[in-house]
């Protein structure tokens, strides 16, 4: 991870992003923050839709926002939920495609987090 950004700072950015979530159906608010290798933090939050397939998770919002800004190299991602829920399978696949070597910090709303890696979350992943 970039030495100028601590895991706690990345988790704090995800906590802040969580406040922007649009979750009227599940009431499960999620924030994420992806750290680029050059030290930039890009936030994301979940955005639900009445057509559930139109819902996008916070992790994918952060990563796709980063891609849209021309970022391609990521060192870490933090995900914050009320209870420290782990990324879904869809998000794990996107993370393996865009940043297989990323560290992952999974946190509850109080900031208690655990560290893992994308590869640990999705062992034996398939690729293109």
Parallel, antiparallel, or unpaired: how do β-strands 74-80 and 103-107 relate?
A: parallel
| Active-site residue, 59 included | yes
Task: Tell me the Cα Rg of the chain.
Answer: 13
Among candidate residues 40, 48, 59, 97, the one labeled active-site is: 59
Report CA-CA distances (Å) from 6 to 13, 19, 53, 77, 125: 11, 21, 34, 11, 28
Catalytic residues: 59
């Amino acid at each position: 991870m970039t030495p100028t950004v601590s895991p706690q700072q990345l988790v704090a950015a995800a906590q802040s992003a969580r406040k922007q979530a649009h979750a009227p159906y599940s009431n499960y608010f999620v924030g994420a923050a992806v750290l680029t290798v050059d030290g930039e933090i890009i936030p994301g939050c979940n955005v639900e839709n009445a057509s559930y397939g139109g819902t996008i998770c916070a992790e994918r919002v952060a990563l796709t926002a980063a891609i849209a800004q021309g970022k391609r190299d990521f060192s870490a991602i933090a995900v914050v939920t009320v209870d420290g829920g782990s990324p879904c399978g869809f998000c794990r696949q996107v993370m393996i495609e865009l940043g297989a070597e990323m560290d992952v910090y999974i946190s509850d709303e109080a900031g208690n987090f655990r560290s893992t890696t994308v590869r640990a979350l999705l062992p034996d992943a398939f690729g293109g």
